Amino acid sequence: MQYRLIKKIGVEVSPLGFGAMRLPLKNGKINRELATKQIYHAIDNGVNLIDTAYLYGDSEKFLGEILQGEYRDKVLISSKLPSIHVRKYEDMEYFLDEQLKRLQRDCIDFYLIHSVDLKTVNRLLKRGLFEFLSKAKREGKIKYVGFSYHGVKEEFDLLIDGYDWDVVMVQYNYFDDNVQASVEGIEYAASKGMGIFVMEPLKGGILAGKMPKDAEEIFKNADSTKTTAQWALQWVLNNRNVSCVFSGMNSIEQLEDNLAVAETTVPMSMTFEELETVEAVKRVMKNSLKINCSTCGYCMPCPRDVNIPECLKIYNEKYLFGHKGFINPAFMDYYQYVGGIMGKAGNAGLCNGCGKCLRKCPQKLDIPAELKKVKKEFELPGLKYILPVAKTIGIPAYKQITKLLNR
């Protein structure tokens, strides 16, 4: 593993970090056996930074339990203050103390203010944010401070200059290279010696695995040995200002895939032809993707039980993969996974436009409006009468026909 130096604090971090937001699940809970195996394997192969947050379910508690013994001192921890829940100064102290207990540590290495823009920071300043951070550092509860950014690029530099930050976390991938912080913002933060942590390098999986046929052909013709995920990760790590990329890996295969790139990618090493290849794929994706959702899940839970990320994901996949006709894979997925056939209904039609998801979306999407598009695309009149028939007859018949056609 080739480590990268955060100049301001003199700390070296692995270019690949383990993101704990999307740990593998089993029956709705963290799959402890698989997640532990993955994390230990990552550390054994040089990964020395794990990112979690108060809002990432039970991930802090889980990490506190497994990062003991020989693994305790081999890894740095990054966690985040849940800014959305802070109402007064005492809340910040409460959350930090609770996180230290969960993580079973006396000190958190990197403590970030979660999901902020200029408005959020101004609100927290009135509650004593900077006093809290300075006190926590003096008391040894945190070593280095930063924030994860979800605002507009015009405000990014103002926040960078507003406090003596050590690191910043930004969304950055070849599809979203000029949103939120932007390339210029990243360069500005790096010019101050700050560490640059990257989230959503694969855009919630959209830039990995199966892609539109035209995009896959472009990558395949350029280098048939590299996966789509490796292309995306290499592009991010090619940026000399990037300190660490957090990837939400939920299988050993994905971990090995990412490790292979992290161990070999040197900043500024991609050729002109390789960069042109990625740019060509980006154009294909831009023409196909309808809703710029990264499926991060920050919009959840929905008070109406709409499975927002899954609804938008299936809608995107219909156009990404060119599904046509009345009965198509996207249509069937919709009724299976959010329509109520395979569990509780979470379809777009349940949305009443309350807008509670709007302030939580990092992408600033008009989610109720997008859900109306999804409803119009997939939901037929008389849905509640269609579902029982689809569940008992339609889906089994579709699966059988598909099986016969694929023989």
**CA neighbor of 237 nearest in space, from 258, 218, 219:** 258
Under CATH, which architecture does the 4-288 domain have?
Answer: Alpha-Beta Barrel (3.20)
Amino acid code (one letter) for 261: V
What DSSP assignment string belongs to 146-180? EEEE-S-HHHHHHHHHTS--SEEEEE--SSSTTST
Reading the block at residue 131, the tokens are 């006093």
Task: Give the closest residue to 210 by CA, choosing from 200, 221, 201, 220.
Answer: 220
CA distance 49 to 44: 12
Structure tokens at 316: 């995107």
pTM, full prediction? 0.82
Q: How many helical (H) and strand (E) elements, i.e. helices and strands, does the chain have?
A: 16, 12
Question: Quick one: tokens of 7?
Answer: 């100049």
Domain edges within the chain: 4-288, 308-405
Supply the pLDDT for residue 113.
97
DSSP string, 20-54: -TT--EETTEE-HHHHHHHHHHHHHTT--EEE--T
| Residue 405: per-residue pLDDT | 57
- Of 313, 311, 294, 308, which Cα lies nearest the Cα of 356? 308
Predicted confidence pLDDT, tens digits, the chain (407 residues): 899 999 999 999 999 999 998 888 888 899 999 999 999 999 999 999 999 999 999 999 999 999 999 999 999 999 999 999 999 999 999 999 999 999 999 999 999 999 899 999 999 999 999 999 999 999 999 999 999 998 888 899 999 999 999 999 999 999 888 878 889 999 999 999 999 999 989 887 888 878 888 999 999 999 999 999 999 999 999 999 999 999 988 889 989 999 999 999 999 999 999 999 999 999 988 887 788 887 788 898 899 999 998 888 888 888 877 777 666 777 777 777 787 766 678 888 899 999 999 988 887 899 999 999 988 888 877 666 666 666 666 556 655 655 665 55
Q: Give the pLDDT confidence score for residue 325 in this predicted structure.
A: 67
Tell me the two tokens of residue 108: 């958190």
In angstroms, the Cα distances linking 44 to 66, 71, 75 are 14, 9, 10
258 and 19 in contact (C-beta within 8 Å)? no
